[in-house]
Structure 1
């Protein structure tokens, strides 16, 4: 490998590392921001918009993880109490883990999918946030579908390119777009970054209510 190639590889590795660190920091900050929203009871819903939850398929699983993580803290503390340094480190790590899981749950609760005068805003978890204007949307319909586990997020067939946001491998809403539209996804290509799509499938806990709200605008 030439010196130039080695420098390019090193620069690329540093860029990826910096990008990963920046993304991790932003996720960490969103954890605490969502907890703050939960405490203040202020979900991220724009004026005039209506929020729709999508957390029911994963709520029980997240609660189990939170409870188990909380139970582990005193158990591990009892085991390592003879070693103060290890005890403090494990205590900090345990509290951080519980806080992180609770913040993730708050992300689902406080960042709902919204329908409002400006269009549909599709969210999922801590990072994903796709805003679709009404001019970009051709139709919205209830279309329940169960995919195979680990199916790709972007489905492509002929000229169609569909972004699929599953909850427990399921979706129940199909949004078809007027034209190919570029959306930004978390991460980098080929799975993240700017992606051109022609449709979007997602899960919402009450699809009929969402469709009723869509009819008021579309």
Structure 2
């Protein structure tokens, strides 16, 4: 009889232990699910990456080469207001338009360095674009090449086209999205005569096509 009682107590203990293990495993599973759900929620509600052209200026420089060329210099500032997410804007290429109706681009360019913007950070990326003297962009080229004005064109536009990803800390968490930024109105002015860029005068770049 005593032996039967001992066996019964051991069986009850094992059942209790198994139940405890099951409860702990279930609790851990629920905790993991909650953590993953929270991480997804944090990433999906992050602020957007904002871009702007520093000072709203594209500097124009006559290059001392033949055939004639003009150099365009500008900088793009990326602002990540999120305290949680990191933004990756990669494979960036773009177009320069002397007027923002986008009827005629005077240059195509690529930005070699990807924009990887940490949480609560600003990143400034410099760009230099060569413009060739070709018939289809005349008379825009002649004005850029010959003018010393601080405001050769005052309604210019840049478009930036790249792949945008969002990551929580250093992990890429969201799918890659092709994203176009439209930056206007910009001033194209002769280097040395155009005013130095002021961050207070940055021109923001939007993701909505202003022509639509």
Q: Check whether TM > 0.5.
A: no
Q: Relative contact order (alpha carbons < 8 A, sep ≥ 6): 1 or 2 greater?
A: 2
**Is the helix fraction higher in 1 or 2?**
1
TM value normalised by structure 1 = 0.19
The TM-score normalised by the length of structure 2 is 0.20
More strand by share: 2
Structure number with bigger Rg? 2
